[in-house]
Each structure stands twice: as C-alpha cells, then as structure tokens.
Amino acid sequence: MSSITPATGVVSFEEARRIVDEIAAKALATRGGSGETEILDLLSARGRVLAEPIVADRDFPPFARATRDGYAVRAADVAMTPTRLRVVGEIKAGDLPDHLTVDSGQAASIMTGAALPSGADAVVMVEYTSVAQPSHPNVAKDATLGWGTLAGEFVDIQRSVSVGENFVPRGAEARAGQRLLDRGRRLDHAGIAIAASAGKSRVQVFRKPRVAVLSTGDEVVEIDAAPGPAQIRNSNSYSLAAQVQNAGAEAVRLAIAPDERGRLRELIEEGLECDLLLLTGGVSMGKYDLVEQVLGELKAEFYFTGAEIQPGRPVVFGSCGAGIPARVRASNPASARVGMPAPHRKYFFGLPGNPVSTMVTFELFAQPMIEALAGMTPQRLIFLRARLKAEIRTKTGLKRFLPAVLSGEFENAEVELARWQGSGDIATLARANCYLVIPPDRERIEAGEWVPLLMR
Ligand code: AMP
Ligand code: MG
C-alpha cells in the first residue's frame, strides 16, 4: 500500500496556539456550538453553555436597597454632627415603605436589604448612632406610623453621610430588559446566581459536543485486564475523558487501537463521527507511529504536525472533511492562512502518548477547540507569576511546561519544579499542581525570579 505523506509543519508554541484559536473561532462562528439545544433545570445546567441570553426581568435592584443597618436620613440634615432626629418608622427587609416619608429632621430605622423610604437620600450606619430616648415596653405603638416605631423615639447621629451613601439605587446594577449573561457563556456558580435572581428556573443550553478518545499502541491494555510484563495500562483514555468532561463535553472512549493500519483506520473513522477526535500515541517518529499516515489516507488537512514545546512536541492538529478532498496545504502550513472550516469538517488532535504530554497538550490546544464546539468563546490562556524557589538549568530551543509545585500562602506564593522522570511520570504530575513555563531562550533561571506558570 502506498502511504500518503501528510503535510508537515512544526511551529512555535504561540503559532500553534494562534492556529487553534483561529480554527476554534471559525468553528464557533459557523456552528454556534453544536447547534442543538436543550432545556435544563437551573442546577443541572451548571458547567453548560447558555444557548439563550439571561435577561433582567426587572430592575436590579428592584428598589433602592439599603446596604447597612442604620437610619435612613436626609444627608443635609446630618451635615453637622452630632445631631438629633425624630424616628418616624422602622423598615425591615421585605417591607414596602410606601406610606412612609422621611422629612427634614426625621429618620427611619432601616435594615440591610430593606427599601429606602421616600425623602431619604442616605443611610447612616447604626454604629454611628445612639437611641436618644430609650423606648419603654409599655409605650404604645404609634398607630399613625404603623412601622413598629415607638412614639417619641429619637436618634442621635454622630457622623455625616453624603447623598447616596449606604444604599444602591434602583436599577443601578441592571435595568429591566438588559442582558445579564450572554449566549455562549458557561454557567458557573456566579452565572447560576444571576439566572436564579432573574427567575430562570430552567435554561436553554447547547447540547454537549461529543469528543472521541482513541488510545493507540500495541503495548496498551484496558485497565481491568491483567497487563503482560511489557504492557502498560491505558491511563490516557481516562485522563483525557476526565479532561474532556471538565471542559464541558461528553467523552466517548473508543477501543484501543493497535499499531496496525487497518484497525487503526476503522477506529479513526468511528471517532470522526463525533464532533472532535482526540488520539493519543503513535504521532512520534517511530516505525510504528502510524496515526499521521492513516489520517493522511483519510485526506486529512493538517494545520500543524508539531509544536516547539516540551513535553508534547509531536502534537498534531487537523481536520477531515467527510468525502471532501483536503486542500493540500503549502509545505509550511504555518505560513499559509488557515482555511475556512466548513460546518461538516471534523477536527482531530493527535496527542503524544506519554501521559504527561497527553495532559499538557490537551490543556494547551484541545481545550479551546472543545470550548468552541460547546458554543463558547474559548478562554484565553493566562499565565500567572510566582517567585522561583530554586534555580533551574535547562536547554534552550523549546518552550517548556514542566510539572511544578506552587506552595506558600496568601501573597507569598513560590514555585519549584517537581523532580520527575520525564513525560511518562504520572506520579510526579499528580503531586504537582501547576506547570512552570520556561521560555525557549532561557538556560538558567535564578531563585527569586518571577516566573510564569500555568495552573491546572
Ligand atoms: P507513543 O507516543 O505512542 O510513542 O507513546 C509514548 C509513550 O507513552 C510510550 O511509553 C507509551 O507506552 C506510552 N503510552 C502510549 N499510550 C498510552 C496510554 N493510552 N496510556 C498510558 N501510556 C501510554
Ligand atoms: Mg505508540
């Protein structure tokens, strides 16, 4: 059989990420997620992507809301302090003070979350007041006021307030009809709070994209099988499935593909029925690394066939068009503009088989594609910085994402490399809590330097 040589191109990390972002943005624009939607109970929609905006059904807040316990006053009355005001009522949260007006020389006792009465334009915190004439239990309620205030009660105000202090005006957070959350937003607990406050007990979300996970390798066996002395268990399908689920998609674990063309091709074709296919293993330079060749036979278009990173250098990104001949890319795909992906193109990543490489390349490249297929604008990759605990010496040429431990507390974060045995070392990765990012031109980084890191 004649093998089709795929277009090759090893690109810098930034270029690889730019290509992924561009394809992801186009996939999002052409498909708007999977296109299909469903309606879920609010809590079941946690982690899902909104297919409808959440709109304010009324003003937020719906009334001028006191943010402190204290006294609703006219700021002008308390410009000079101390001063004494007559208490004309009490407003609890939930009360509607529509028969109460605070006139000059008056105050109303008010609780946090209660509606400001008319006439008042500020709230003095209770801490800066004292009841001037303690009430007696036998004093009758003032029937005309009706707010549970005791007739003849006065309050001494010790501090001035400005107009607008200690309350939020009606509609200050949002006006009725205003969009609170956009379509395409992934619902986290804050988004759930907004939907709940707008009365959305059920929300419309995009169907989760289906992501096929296909591990390859003659040495790889299922985790419940007894491995032979030279075999290893298929941990990648499980770590990837977990990452896929975290990213908001449904993982479809396929059977393990042997390093044999026919069966590998069958399984790849099965995987291409999903919205995205993630392969692991078989993308290096070994004699039995067949993934790119088989994808080439399936007329794949390759966007890149490697990135200058460690771990994960052999990572491959491309797409297959159902029955459509691939546009054959220029010899350096990085220099060519990435073509407009048609709605029916199926994307794939060939991730290296080493478990740490698999996990890192998923985060760097597959995650944004999944987010786009889920209907959301992919999140930017943001590196944080922490102080390096111990000097690092490394080789130049590749951008490195090395398992590291971020420790310390509060403002004193420090980071150090986890001592590892290379990209197969899952035990070290499990102990690590971030990746230390080392630029390709650095040979030595001194202790105390601020270094970028990627949380995981
Ligand atoms: P490959 O990328 O196929 O050359 O594999 C690189 C390394 O990753 C080898 O040591 C493989 O045994 C290991 N490996 C490949 N696939 C898996 C898998 N599914 N689970 C765990 N380790 C794997
Ligand atoms: Mg292999």
Q: pLDDT digit string (tens) for 370-397? A: 999 999 999 999 999 999 999 999 999 9
What is the β-pairing status of strands 399-407 and 414-417?
antiparallel
pLDDT of residue 288: 87
Q: pLDDT digit string (tens) for 308-349? A: 999 999 999 999 986 443 333 334 444 344 444 455 789 999
Name the β-bridge partners of 345: 321
Q: Which two tokens stand for residue 319?
A: 């797409």
pLDDT of residue 336: 40
* Percent of the chain whose predicted confidence (pLDDT) is above 70: 88
Query: How many angstroms separate the alpha carbon of residue 213 from the centre of ligand 1?
Result: 14
Q: Can you tell me the distance from the alpha carbon of 172 to that of 190, in angstroms, rounded to the nearest whole number? A: 18
Q: Which ligand lies nearest the alpha carbon of 314?
A: 1
Q: pLDDT digit string (tens) for 11-51? A: 999 999 999 999 999 999 986 655 799 999 999 999 999 99
Label residue 408 by pLDDT band (50, 70, 90): very high
Which amino acid makes up residue 121?
D
Q: pLDDT digit string (tens) for 126-156? A: 999 999 855 544 444 444 443 444 546 899 9
Closest atom of ligand 1 to 314 CA is: 2
Query: How many angstroms separate the alpha carbon of residue 51 from the centre of ligand 2?
Result: 40
Query: How many angstroms separate the alpha carbon of residue 408 from the centre of ligand 1?
Result: 34
pLDDT of residue 30: 81
Q: Is the pTM of this model over 0.75?
A: yes
Ligand 1 atom 15: residue of nearest CA: 353
Query: How many angstroms separate the alpha carbon of residue 260 from the centre of ligand 2?
Result: 11
Residues with CB under 6 A from ligand 1: 215, 217, 219-220, 232, 234-237, 280-282, 284, 286, 352-355, 424
Label residue 403 by pLDDT band (50, 70, 90): very high
Q: Can you tell me the distance from the alpha carbon of 347 to that of 93, in angstroms, rounded to the nearest whole number? A: 54
Q: pLDDT digit string (tens) for 282-299? A: 999 888 899 999 999 999
Q: What is the dihedral of CA 264, 268, 271, 273, to 10 degrees?
A: -140
Q: Which two tokens stand for residue 265?
A: 């091709």
- Which residue's entry shows tokens 């202090």? 165
pLDDT of residue 339: 45
pLDDT of residue 344: 74
Q: Which ligand lies nearest the alpha carbon of 361?
A: 1
Query: How many angstroms separate the alpha carbon of residue 148 from the centre of ligand 2?
Result: 79
pLDDT of residue 338: 44
Range list of β-strands (E), 254-366: 276-280, 301-304, 306-307, 309-310, 316-321, 345-351
Computed over every residue of the chain, the mean pLDDT equals 90
Q: Can you tell me the distance from the alpha carbon of 4 to that of 6, in angstroms, rounded to the nearest whole number? A: 6
Does the structure show a pLDDT above 70 at 302?
yes
pLDDT, mean of residues 84-106 = 96
Ligand 1 atom 8: residue of nearest CA: 354
Environment class of residue 317 by beta-carbon count within 10 Å: exposed (0-12), middle (13-18) or buried (19+)? buried
Cis amide bond preceding 61, omega within 30 = yes
Type and span of the H or E element at 268 = helix 261-271
| Residue among 280, 305, 351 whose CB has most ligand 1 atoms within 8 A, to mutate | 280
Q: Can you tell me the distance from the alpha carbon of 364 to that of 401, in angstroms, rounded to the nearest whole number? A: 10
- Phi, psi (deg, nearest 5) at residue 449: -70, 150
Query: How many angstroms separate the alpha carbon of residue 65 from the centre of ligand 2?
Result: 63
CB 336 within 8 Å of CB 350: no
Ligand 1 atom 10: residue of nearest CA: 354
| Residue among 218, 222, 231, 232 whose CB has most ligand 1 atoms within 8 A, to mutate | 232
